[in-house]
Amino acid sequence: MTSAVLDQTFVQWRGAQQAAVEQALSGWVPLDAPAGLGEAMRYAVLDGGKRLRPLLVLATCEAVGGQADAAMRAACAVELIHAYSLVHDDMPCMDNDVLRRGKPTVHVQFGEAQALLAGDALQALAFELLVPGDGSLGDAMSARLCRLLALAAGADGMAGGQAVDLASVGIALDQRQLEAMHRRKTGALLQASVTMGAATGAVARDTLAALADYGACVGLAFQVVDDILDVTADSATLGKTAGKDAAADKPTFVSLMGLGPAQTYADNVLARAHAALDRSGLERPGTLHALADWVAHRAS
Amino acid sequence: MTSAVLDQTFVQWRGAQQAAVEQALSGWVPLDAPAGLGEAMRYAVLDGGKRLRPLLVLATCEAVGGQADAAMRAACAVELIHAYSLVHDDMPCMDNDVLRRGKPTVHVQFGEAQALLAGDALQALAFELLVPGDGSLGDAMSARLCRLLALAAGADGMAGGQAVDLASVGIALDQRQLEAMHRRKTGALLQASVTMGAATGAVARDTLAALADYGACVGLAFQVVDDILDVTADSATLGKTAGKDAAADKPTFVSLMGLGPAQTYADNVLARAHAALDRSGLERPGTLHALADWVAHRAS
């Protein structure tokens, strides 16, 4: 399946939600932060990316009949965490990358110090969004979302996965180790997108467990396909530097198992994502099914 | 006044609270984060520093009769934000410093990439602490503390102040601009320490306003004395590189007004801190008075 044959209803939903997320982010990422910091933050966040994490939050909220304004704040908060991680990850002391979303990376555009600070400020802003000053989300919702986001972003989640990634250059990980790294590095935030979406509504325990499984499978599918695209796509299509994992001697699903088996593995993980939704008991899981297909069959 | 003549009750209180904070931090900063990340996080946080911010949280909680377990979590959360900011601030792309709390800085000890990640993970951990998994703080308390911390740490607080600091090298700021920079850079988190401490209890509006003024004055006094010590103390006493502001051509209260007038200014700000407490209506503000004296008269 390619995006050309994706359900048109989904394609329309996706476009509308991406526009809504862009508008919300533009309203929340400050124009007026001092000394150019706001400009760097907005450059890092606006006008780019697939907004996969926000879409997962919003689709899950819809599937569980959750609170829409809480979901939009959660969607933007996870995207801010994702955006800050890209800014820091691209810095010279990390991946030293110059191209992101088809544009110069933040440190190339604004300098390393400003990139460091912009990332730091974006992380703080993510939590700020989850506790609006007017209390409109309700304290219970704010607290729940803050906890899910903090756990996904921290040492046991994304930041921990980055540390493993750093330590793995030139090391042959086995499949279990590679999966464990990605469960943290990209999986934790993708899964949190789903569980935060679920947290905007009232969800039975079994449904929440199935949604968490779905989120984990989408996270893994995302990473395997990322590894495949790093080998098969060019930089112009990706909007970021292609072939960089191999150049950096980083372990990937492709380097571990080869291109064909990696594709088969991605197909299997996608099937598990669909199966998790099938046992979720949700009445309207259609958009979540379509999102999983999109993740697994995307071209960039 | 020097610490030798500080009230012995305060000195004992301070020592006991510093030990309690150290123990709490040691329990909360993970030993087992992957790939050395936990080690770098613990190195950045444990066994060092005056713990001024935690002491402000705890003293304010005591003064308002607040919830002690919430205050200890808030105290550690603000210290984690402070610690992460030092880690990032010391990095080569920022202040490029090699000495902190008498030890090699985190990036010297663990490498730049690990320092970057450790700082990022410490910020996430700060918010995690404020929303314990068992819900023991109550949702309203968790939400309130998260909001205060996020605002103090972000673009309108500490990170924004750092951006102004960066942009001010070699520029002659006037007193108003210098105060505005420090209100964000160090003042926001010091003030938040007081307001978060107040948030652990039920405080009348006028009392809260007086406490916020007190926090702002303590923050300003802290910075002016920091500028004075940068000129008058040596690196061994400070545990960090002395004379670095002048070497970096950064505007300071000393470079702006000279050493004597800077000391007079500090004395005036200290008097304003005491006056704010006097009008707070608090029955037991003694420790807060003593903390302000300590900040203004410290030797390192």
What pLDDT was estimated at residue A2? 41
Answer yes or no: do B131 and A146 touch at CB < 8 A: yes
pLDDT at A217 over 80: yes
As a whole number, mean pLDDT of residues A68-88 equals: 98
Ramachandran sector of residue A252 (left: φ over 0; alpha: ψ -120 to 50; beta: rest): beta
Which residue among A33, A37, A155 places its CB closest to the CB of B33? A155
Domain count, chain B: 1
Tokens (6 digits) for A93: 């002391």
What pLDDT was estimated at residue B45? 97
Partners of A41 on chain B (C-beta within 8 Å) are: 155
- The whole-angstrom separation of Cα A227 and Cα A245 is 8
CB atoms within 10 A of CB B162: 28
Which residue among A37, A88, A139 places its CB closest to the CB of B160? A37
Query: Which ipTM was obtained for this model?
Result: 0.95
Q: Which band of pLDDT confidence, cut at 50, 70 and 90, is reported for residue A16?
A: very high
CA of A299, closest CA in chain B: separation in Å? 30
- The whole-angstrom separation of Cα B52 and Cα B82 is 10
The strand pairing partners of B104, in sequence order, are B99
Alpha-carbon torsion, ordered A27, B184, B115, A130, to 10 deg:
-40
* pLDDT, chain A, mean: 94
What pLDDT was estimated at residue B6? 63
Partners of A154 on chain B (C-beta within 8 Å) are: 121, 124-125, 128
Answer yes or no: do A131 and B113 touch at CB < 8 A: no
Q: Which residues of chain B have pLDDT under 70?
A: 1-6
List the single residue in A with minimal CA-CA distance to B84: A120
Closest CA to B33 of B100, B122, B109, B135: B122
The strand pairing partners of A104, in sequence order, are A99
What pLDDT was estimated at residue A170? 86
What pLDDT was estimated at residue A3? 41
As a whole number, mean pLDDT of residues A75-89 equals: 98
Helix (H, G, I), strand (E, B) or coil at A218: helix
Q: Which of A78, A128, A250 to mutate to test the interface with B (most CBs of B within 10 A)?
A: A128
Name, in order, each residue with C-beta under 8 angstroms of B248's C-beta and a sequence gap of 6 or more.
B95, B169
The model's pLDDT over A252-281, given as tens digits with 9 standing for 90+, comes to 999 999 999 999 999 999 999 999 999 999
CA of B143, closest CA in chain A: separation in Å? 5
Which residue among A120, A135, A154 places its CB closest to the CB of B125? A154
Contact criterion met (CB below 8 Å) for A218 and A273: yes
Tokens (6 digits) for A18: 């991406």
* pLDDT, chain B, mean: 94
The model's pLDDT over A146-175, given as tens digits with 9 standing for 90+, comes to 999 999 999 999 999 999 999 998 888 899
CATH number at residue B166: 1.10.600.10
Answer yes or no: do B147 and A160 touch at CB < 8 A: no
- The domain in which residue A143 lies consists of 3-297
CA of A131, closest CA in chain B: separation in Å? 6
Q: Which of B147, B168, B178 to mutate to test the interface with A (most CBs of A within 10 A)?
A: B147
As a whole number, mean pLDDT of residues A16-26 equals: 98
List the single residue in B with minimal CA-CA distance to A36: B163
- Find the helix or strand (DSSP H, E) in which B205 lies: helix B205-232
Please give the DSSP secondary-structure letter assigned to residue A81: H
Partners of B140 on chain A (C-beta within 8 Å) are: 139
**Exposure b/e, A192-227, CB count within 10 A at least 16 = b:** bbbbbbbbbbebeeebbebbbbbbbbbbbbbbbbbb
As a whole number, mean pLDDT of residues A49-64 equals: 97
Partners of B85 on chain A (C-beta within 8 Å) are: 120
What pLDDT was estimated at residue A4? 42
Q: Which band of pLDDT confidence, cut at 50, 70 and 90, is reported for residue A6?
A: low
CB atoms within 10 A of CB B45: 26
Which residue among A33, A123, A143 places its CB closest to the CB of B142? A143
pLDDT at A1 over 50: no
Answer yes or no: do A155 and B37 touch at CB < 8 A: yes
Report how many Cβ contacts below 8 Å link chain A to chain B. 182
What pLDDT was estimated at residue B2? 41
